[in-house]
Amino acid sequence: MKADFTRKLLKWNAVQNRRIMPWKGEKDPYKIWLSEIMLQQTRVEQGIGYYERFIKAFPTVFALAKAPEKQVYKMWEGLGYYSRCKNLIHTARTLVEEHGGKFPSAYEEILKLKGIGPYTAAAIASFAFNECRAVVDGNVLRVISRYFGVSTPIDDVAGKKIYHSLAGSLIDPDSPGTYNQAIMDFGATICKPRSPLCGQCVQSKECEAFRHGYIEDLPVKSKSLKKKARWFYYFLIEIGDGVYIRKRTGKDIWQNLHEFVCFETDGDAAHGPGDILKKMLKRQPFIVRSSSEVYTQQLTHQQVHGRFIRVTIPLPGGGPEEDGKLQGPGKPALANRKVATISKRHKNTATSGQASDRAAGERILSGNKNAGASGQLRDAVDSDRMLLEKKITKLLARADEHNAQGAIGYQLVKKNDLHEYAFPKLLHAYLKQVYPSPARDDI
């Protein structure tokens, strides 16, 4: 039965398998490793574009090892599960520094590399080095469970032993790489999770699940995954052409990615942003420009909800009228008002500059005198803007002490530079609507 399964599978692969992927048939362990890491928790259709862009940007493990982390994370943006990216960088550097840029050729040695588990190690060992190691992924588990009629759960200890033993007994020792690719393709295109193509299956006559009518019941999982719900406010706090962001560095979701000013709540993120802002910014006036709908991102163990509130801090000396209402202590409804916050130590300079500007319209003064006064006024405003930025940064740092989810301090970056930073998928979906990024070829 086992020999017949393998023979039919390899024949199907040679004659009928039309599945095309850019890494298929690849012998370079670096490219195999990269493709396998990308395809973890990622659909093949989505992974192809990322793979091709990565290979173009980092054609060798040496290129990846020396690349700035910021660039690698930006290239990974949208794939999710960013611990994979972190391990990818670490392992690339390990391979260069400790192995001369070469992958170990044996399964057990490959398995020692960070971020590489039994499946990926088996894929690299069989595809690149022709070692007889069976890959066991979701496709393989489904094919084996149905063909042999195994109802033991695939996710408990006993089940894992059974499935790995069967997978090892089926592999063709003469062409392990070809066999491994064939059974994964077979599971992905014929023995699919839903609506499998049993009428086209070359294994159907011997398939226990097909013969007894319980295809849809296999494979069995014993554990139901409990997902935790989390709610976040994201405040896009803007000063002029800048907006505050920070990098998450703690042991939580989205490590090493960037985010806006963040505040986690206990429930639906539709209530109370104004109170949070007033508590966060103390007596600093602000204008709420807009509040978004709730965005949701599904992670493996968590469902994350976020609402985005766009906030403007009025510039010193006034400026263009802003949509929205000026808020803060004692200012509940001062709409569309310019706020003059030039510090007292610049009062005389500002007054002198304004007087000079009025006089210039009435009589001709020397260009040097007028330019000098205007320059002094600009210097005063610039100085006060710097003081304002420091003040807001300090206020955010204090507020963050009570609500930090693993991050370093906030920094003010130009809106036009946001495309250089990597954000979680949840934030990126909103970000590209509010701050459209310039077109780039490498992301």
Active-site positions? 36
Q: Residue 149 class from Cβ within 10 Å (0-12 exposed, 13-18 middle, 19+ buried)?
A: middle
Which class for 266: exposed (0-12), middle (13-18), buried (19 or more C-beta within 10 A)? Answer: exposed
Rounded to whole angstroms, the Cα distance separating 222 from 406 reads 33
Give residues with Cβ within 8 angstroms of 269, minimum separation 6. 231, 232, 233, 294, 305, 306, 307
How far from chain centre, in Å, is Cα 361?
A: 56
φ and ψ at residue 200, rounded to 5 degrees: -105, 5
Residue 51 Rama label (left phi>0; alpha psi -120 to 50; beta): alpha
**Alpha-carbon span 295 to 308, nearest angstrom:** 9
The answer for residues whose C-beta is within 8 angstroms of residue 180's C-beta and 6 or more apart is 122, 123, 126, 127, 134, 135, 171
Asked whether the beta carbons of 307 and 292 are under 8 A apart, the reply is: yes
